[in-house]
A and B are shown apart, each in its own frame.
Chain A
């Protein structure tokens, strides 16, 4: 039971999710990313060590997880600040770990799901740092399309967004597919609705950042360096390859 309570703090469901989000917002920027990554992984490990309950508790947790996933996915629609977008997105994705746990998914697979849905949010926070350095804030849509001013950074951000909304062939897609394969029909509908809201929210953000009149690059700022872009591209490729292999292995299993 202790593990369950701690897991509720680490993989927060509403209303505890508000507390965790407030903490994440209050932390210095350099600390947000490790905390964002550590919370769900430790939470998934703890859940993996705890047998899934049955009866009313399981039903209550399922309903709470579904509500949290949908609420935070819906809230994404009105967010233009990338730091906020990343943490709300992660909060919307974490209930998937709960759903998977309640339906008997094994401990190592729970960690894989947690990582697959959280790493893109952490990468988005990195992107938000890069945007803040160049634009003064990671707020999109005020100036217009940023592609001509920072083409490499824009490309990297778009790829990170694709990973966050679990587009194929990123690992999130296979993680969602695996969770959907395990959970009950009612939760399947919830997760599919959440997925739709993620896509909608990402498209709204793209609309703000990619289209419109061009703005000049801010004085003293530069685009992502060539070496940085290459490293980013290689990282994304590795993630895709791991996602494909992992997803395929899971599915074969």
Chain B
């Protein structure tokens, strides 16, 4: 056993050891308990970084390492390494942050032990080399999240929302169990390397006349949907904000975004199930749109943040549905880092606001508000339209073409570029709407920023793709599987263009269009109903609650009839 094997095993074992050691030996001194816990996670992060550095030194096409006995073990590949560094990093930050943040909360040592257990479970999940270990870790994450979200036992609401999360997760867990059983029955292997090898050799195995891979992929996708709050399994996510803030941050380290991880881990299965990828695209798109819309209609800032995460998760699953598996991982890492930062700094924002409630006179504020131009100059509308439409397209197209010329042959890539173009065009359009004495200077600044973001993103994304999927055949197979009929693809692009461009035009001109209509009019009634539908989150939670209450009420009667025996 060399040092790499030991480091791989240490990834889940060190936090597990901490979870055992801390409550047993430091229960009387909570500060010492926290310090030990932080030390264990710091060593775990060191191990994860050392493994990543070793892999980079060996070269990108170094083979994956399987550490285990027989068919059971841990898998060290680029995906597990990237995720391990992310998870250990966020976990360490959360551990350090909780040191003072949770100091006055009851159950301090228990909280640290649960954080350690959760870190161990996530690290086990991302490095699982066989389906049983993956299932054990996948189940354990959902279970532990229940206790972390319900840490504050004084509030019944904390328990209620933890329950919503738990039951949704358990639904997904069982779907993943079904997928694993199908794969094992079909291919006779529990360990992932052998399983993927056999799938590659014969992807058309059937059981009882039913093709194994599409059904297994569908079930695994369901598990990913439940874990990553995809419509209509999303209702738990906004309410998890009721849990402790460090837990909200930790949720972005391989818990709520584990759906993207699962798509990548089982990518050799998904590339043989094009229909499931299309379903993932549709579900992801609906989730992204609804999550963003619901975010805008909430009057509770925490729920609003929750719906923002839902929207991001929708984009992540949509990327998987387009075959851009590595982009989903890139997205989940980037989103995990920025959302965890947002959560952890929310206390500071509140504190600063209490100290000084005036609008901070920063550069953007003074540019926009205080130095409001006396004589607004507009760029000629035709030129403005051309800049809005062409500049983002040219920048995005050229930057991707320079990195990978064949990028445009993949339909999924074109859809991703399309979304990039929509975002870029939206930015340029908003600049034209901004009153300015010198619009060309604003445009130049925005253009430079856009160029830096796009070029930087393109280089990193392509580099990351080569790191995660060094085998170009597998890389391209994802895009190929996600491809659809050319005519349907063209119709889809036109449809998306109309919907998205129409939606943000309406948003920009919402005031001048007087969307609410006259009070008392039919249009106004319809508008208010639609608003109520969004603000009440489509009544989905109410439907679920009523259904489950109905089930429990019925069973109460049955228990009485059967005399509780």
Contact = CB atoms under 8 A, between A and B. Distances in A.
Contacts of B171: 196
* Chain A interface mostly: helix
B344 to A, nearest CB: 26
A210 B139 contact: no
B174 A192 contact: yes
B565 interface: yes
B155 A75 contact: no
A167 B139 contact: yes
A173 B136 contact: yes
B177 A192 contact: yes
A251 B181 contact: no
Contacts of A192: 174, 177-178
Given A84-B564, A177-B132, A168 B167 contact: no
Contact of A203 (B140, B163, B177, B565): B163
A252 B153 contact: no
A184 to B, nearest CB: 9
Nearest to B152: A211
A247 B160 CA distance: 33
B71 interface: yes
A214 B185 CA distance: 50
B150 interface: yes
Contact of A168 (B136, B153, B181, B190): B136
B146 A252 contact: no
Interface string B62-90: 00000000111000000000000000000
Contacts of B565: 18-19, 21-22, 25
Interface residues of A, number: 42
Contacts of A199: 166-167, 170
Nearest to B157: A211
B158 A180 contact: no
Contacts, number: 108
A74 B550 CA distance: 12
B204 interface: no
B166 A203 contact: yes
Interface stretch (B266-274, B445-453, B554-562): B554-562
A225 to B, nearest CB: 16
Nearest to A200: B167
B154 A207 contact: no
B551 A75 contact: no
B182 to A, nearest CB: 9
Given A168-B136, A173-B136, A252-B70, A196 B170 contact: yes
Nearest to A233: B24
A145 interface: yes
Given A78-B555, A168-B140, A206-B159, A181 B174 contact: no
A213 B190 CA distance: 47
B361 interface: no
Given A145-B153, A177-B132, A207-B163, A79 B174 contact: no
Contacts of B167: 196, 199-200, 203
A141 to B, nearest CB: 11
B153 A78 contact: no
A211 B170 contact: no
B556 A78 contact: yes
Interface string B142-182: 01001000100111101110010011001100100110010
Contacts of B190: 251
A169 B124 CA distance: 13
B514 to A, nearest CB: 47
Contacts of A213: 154
11 contacts: A18-B563, A25-B564, A78-B556, A177-B135, A196-B170, A206-B146, A207-B160, A211-B150, A212-B154, A214-B154, A247-B132
Interface of B: 70-72, 106, 132, 135-136, 139-140, 143, 146, 150, 153-156, 158-160, 163, 166-167, 170-171, 174, 177-178, 181, 184-185, 190, 208, 551-552, 555-556, 558-559, 562-565
Interface of A: 18-19, 21-22, 25, 74-75, 77-79, 84, 145, 147-148, 162, 167-169, 173, 177, 180-181, 185, 188, 192, 195-196, 199-200, 203-204, 206-207, 210-214, 247-248, 251-252
The 7 A-B pairs with the shortest beta carbon distances in the complex, nearest first, are: A211-B159, A21-B565, A168-B136, A78-B556, A192-B174, A22-B565, A199-B170
Given A196-B167, A207-B159, A214-B154, 5 more contacts: A181-B184, A200-B170, A206-B150, A251-B71, A251-B132
